[in-house]
Structure 1
Amino acid sequence: MVNSLIHPKQGDKANSAWFEEFLVRLLENRDRTGLSDMIREIDALMITVEPGCSAAYVSELALMTPYHYLVTLESESHWTHILRIDMESPDLLVREVRDPGRGDIFRSLNEVYPIGAHKPNSRYMGEIFRVSNLHEVVEQQKGREIRFFNQDQIRKLELPGNMAIVKPSPYTHNVVAYWERPPEDMRVYALGNSVILDEVNRGYHAAKAIQEDLGLDKLIRPIDHLATRVYSQNREVAILEYLTLSSYYYWGSYDIANQNSSTNVTKSIHYADERISPAKVFTAANQPYFVNHLVGLPSPTENFVRNYGPRLHHLALAVADGETGNQANIDYVVDAIRARGKDFLLDVIGSREEGLKQIFSSASEHSSLIIEYVQRFGDFDGFFTKQNVAELTHAAGVEENLRLLQAESEAANPLVNA
């Protein structure tokens, strides 16, 4: 039997007694009932973008990530582009809403937040887990009061019909989906008609040619982790809910005190290599927004959630260890991509002596997601350094404040910005 509690906890962030009690009880129950063994790796990630934006976003991802455009699934109201590295790393499903007036539950999650409403269709949706027994997983999760979309709802949402999809979390606004696929089988999504869109294909090939000419294809590795931001009061329940829905374990939490924040990490019990199943990170403020004037600290994490809603903040990609042209690979990658017009929020931070270097890109204008690059040196086995996280959190907060001002300006002056 799998033991999800075998890993020693990392970090310096104190949790409540309630969290510590139910962490043990939930994982012991998950192991005992076989869920931990039946739920395997993250097989795919789902992202939705605004009408007319997916071709440009696929091109952006083709330059900045190892992903390749495979095919487009055409349904009545969406284009769903399948991007793949290989069968060992998760696919990306990039969905474009074809009708700007179309509404659904995912759009409604954006519309109540000032920046989220500015791009109502742009959001990360969630993860698809491969499972060994779909019926048993769903029945057990229903017994835990997990709520699923029914098949008619999945059809109307134009999501793949060969999976069970949990309704959006009240804590993260993300979904988790399950599908049964023998590991030796290809990933095939039961949705619409398969086509190759010329605009998407041309943009993809042009971006990949640039990536290969620059040698970036040999340096940028698959996704290392996914980072979700939640409200301060939902930190512990968001973590435990995800552990209930997945086969991940609690790696630990670090307090980033000078940014009034904490970083909380969960990892797969089945795969130590994050390229197979990325770590899932939860970031939350230590104090709610209404005491900021009393504690006298910045609150970039809580501000993000208030402006965008709870959601994924960034996708982090690993960069191969080593040097290119007398630069650390991450410095070379960033300089090359910056020269192609992509902005970054700060210079690369960290050092070889500290064990790793990291950087955030500016948020994508197409998906609102940030790309993080991280290079770990030698045998460094840590996940991050607290100082790096503090600097990244601060830099992202500065950009998000500017985006809020822009959104408020455009809302107040619609004719000027039309």
Structure 2
Amino acid sequence: MISQSLSFPVQGDKQNSAFFNEYLGKLLEERDSLGLSDMIYEIDAMMLMVDPGRSIEYIGELCLMSPYEYLVTLESESHWTHILRIDMNSPDLLIREVKNEETKGIFRSLNEVFPIGSSKPHSRYMGEILRVTNLHEVVNLQQNRGFRFFSPDDIRRLELPGNMAIIKPSPYTHNIVGYLERNPGDLRIYALGVSTIRADAHQACQMAKERQKALGINELILPVDHLATRIYSQNREVAILEWLSISSYYYWGSFDIVDQNSSTNVTKSIHYSDELRSPAKVFTANNTPYFVNHFKIFPSPTENFVRNYGPRLHHMALAVKDGDQNGIENIEFVVDAIRDQGKSFLLDVVGSKAEGLKQIFSSASEHSSLIIEYVQRFGGFQGFFTKDNVAELTHAAGVEEELIRMQAEAQKAMQV
């Protein structure tokens, strides 16, 4: 009998190693047999950090560009953690701002060894929180499989919610993964600090929501569709296998993007076919490492990003409702409206209705360095991209003006 997590057809044309194929089967069969697949469910929240003084403007930016709304702020000794929510069927977004720019810690250290990452030392995506039905049992089983967790004392020192178990940063993605026990229908509660509603955060979000409604886009932007992480070329397979071991996701498949010398690798939840319920996790990696580039000039936008920022989340994709506004497809309508508010995009919308979807990347946020992708699918299209689309998007992200500027500044600083 085929294991539940291995019962899904694999898509794509990327060839994986014998090691990957062997351990994909072993790890998912073990996960199912241990009962982990039936105890670990959706992505309940995503966590990220911003530099001091950046969170309120970022809340305003997100409330304009997404369905998220400001809910509450949890204040601890050294941080403000702002909770943004759509509803209980979509993951929360936790935006964490350090109060003092001199604050040191493990998450800052993950930035400081990379030339552009170090320029915004507190700004990075941290990871996901997964809902589980039995926290103690999940942690016990995962520890037996070799995963290392922060101790309760570590969690207190890091000022993270005390009702979570949190796996230490991945050596492949630099992300953490937390587990939060919660039954369906129960509220999400984060045991951290003092809960307050900050007037400045509330006002920033309300003003953005009023603009969103006035622009006519408030009903068109849907929850998070997928989260895309960029990793080193040599870590592609192990990063995927690690995530599949930690979560209840399955391997959807991989596509080779030859003209950008990279691959796009997709994993999806075994419990929810709708990505808006639990976003797909996508991993992008170069096909060749940077140190062979002097033999032949390979395009390397993904490897360059990782070398400059470190392995990390590159973009968060939001779905756009299928349909049009007086003959203008919804994604075009949304992008035009947001562009008129001063937000730039890296290229024009790519794709077509005939191909099944259209996509676009925003420029990277000055607050979080994250890109927002919008994706509109037509007629029930189930894929995440076409090869031409993803090649154009990958290329555009590689020549993003902010990245080039910061890279030049970092190189100049190293020469001094």
TM-score under structure 2 normalisation? 0.98
| CA–CA distance in structure 1, aligned partners of residues 222 and 413 of structure 2 | 38
Distance 2:22 2:405 in 1: 41
Do 2:3 and 2:28's aligned partners in 1 also have CA atoms closer than 8 Å?
A: no
| Structure 1, 310-319 or 193-202: larger mean CA deviation | 193-202
The answer for the alignment partner of 1:321 in structure 2 is 322
Q: Deviations over 1:343-370 (max 9, x none)?
A: 1000111111111100000000000100
SS in 1 for 2:81: strand
Aligned partners of 2:59 and 2:295: how far apart in 1? 44
Task: Trace 1:171-182 onto structure 2 (pairs within 5 A).
Answer: 171-182=172-183
Q: Per-residue displacement from partner, 1:294-344 (whole Å, max 9, x unpaired)? A: 232210000000000000000000000010132110001000000000010
Alignment of 1:166-205 (within 5 A): 166-205=167-206
The 5 Å alignment of 1:45-124 reads 45-124=46-125
For residue 89 of structure 1, give the secondary structure of its aligned residue in structure 2: coil
1:276 has 2:274 as partner? no
Whole-Å separation in 1 of the counterparts to 2:6 and 2:77 = 45
State the distance in 1 between where 2:215 and 2:246 align. 40
Are positions 1:403 and 2:402 aligned together?
A: no
CA distance in 2, matches of 1:325, 1:361: 24
- CA positional deviation for 1:83: 0.3
Say whether 1:365 aligns with 2:366: yes
Provide the rounded CA distance (Å) in 1 between the counterparts of 2:98 and 2:219. 33
SS of corresponding position for 2:4? coil
Work out the CA distance in 2 between the residues paired with 1:2 and 1:179.
25
Which residue pairs with 1:137 in the alignment? 138
> What is the number of equivalent residue pairs in this alignment?
413
Instruction: Work out the CA distance in 2 between the residues paired with 1:164 and 1:273.
Output: 26
In the alignment, which residue of structure 2 is the partner of 1:387?
388
Report the alpha carbon displacement of residue 198 of structure 1 after superposing the two structures with TM: 1.3
Match for residue 330 of structure 1? 331
- 1:258 aligns to what SS in structure 2? helix
Contact preservation (8 Å) 1:345, 1:361: yes
Contact 2:82 2:94 in 1 (8 A): yes
- State the 1:29 CA deviation: 0.4
* 2:404 counterpart letter in structure 1: N
CA shift for structure 1 position 411: 7.1
**CA RMSD, Structure 1 to Structure 2 (Å):** 1.2
Contact kept, 8 Å, 1:263 with 1:283, in 2: the verdict is yes
Distance 1:180 1:380, change over 3 A: same
Deviations 1:99-140 (A, max 9, x none): 100010000000000000000000000000000100000000
Distance in 2 (CA, whole Å) between partners of 1:218 and 1:378 is: 19
Structure 1 letter corresponding to 2:163: N
Structure-1-length-normalised TM-score: 0.97
State whether residues 263 and 285 of structure 2, in contact with CA within 8 Å, keep that contact through their aligned partners in structure 1: yes
The 1:403/1:97 distance shift into structure 2, 3 A limit, reads same
Q: Tell which deviates more after alignment, 402-411 or 3-12.
A: 402-411
Residue identity in the other structure for 2:83: I
Structure 1 runs, 4 residues or longer, greater than 6 Å off: 410-413
Identical counterparts, % of pairs: 69
Q: What does residue 148 of structure 1 align with?
A: 149
Q: Shift of residue 239 of structure 1?
A: 0.2
**How far apart are the structure 2 equivalents of 1:391 and 1:226?**
18
Q: Is the CA contact 1:346–1:360 (under 8 Å) kept in the aligned structure 2?
A: yes
Letter in 1 for 2:241: L
Hey, what's the Cα distance between the residues in 1 that align with 2:112 and 2:100? 16
The answer for the alignment partner of 1:416 in structure 2 is none
- Does the Cα contact within 8 Å between 1:321 and 1:376 map onto a contact in 2? yes
SS in 1 for 2:336: helix
C-alpha displacement at 1:274, in angstroms? 0.6
Q: Secondary structure at the match of 1:277?
A: coil
Q: Following TM superposition, by how much is the alpha carbon of 1:409 offset from its aligned partner in structure 2, in angstroms?
A: 4.7
CA distance in 1, matches of 2:99, 2:411: 26
Q: Which residue of 2 aligns with 1:13?
A: 14
Unaligned runs of 5+ in 2: none
Q: Which residue of 1 aligns with 2:260?
A: 259
Question: 1: distance between equivalents of 2:414 and 2:298?
Answer: 29
- Matched letter for residue 208 of structure 1: K
Q: Once the two structures are superposed, what CA deviation does each residue of 1:142-186 show, in whole Å capped at 9, x if it has no partner?
A: 001100000111001100000000000000000000011111110
Amino acid at match of 2:272: Y
Secondary structure of the equivalent of 1:137? Answer: helix
SS in 2 for 1:217: coil
Letter paired with 1:385: T
Secondary structure in 2 matching 1:404 = helix
Residues 3 and 29 in structure 2, CA contact (< 8 A), matched pair in contact too: no
| 3-state SS in 1 of match to 2:180 | strand
2: CA distance, partners of 1:279 / 1:140: 24
**Whole-angstrom distance in 1 between the partners of 2:322 and 2:351:** 14
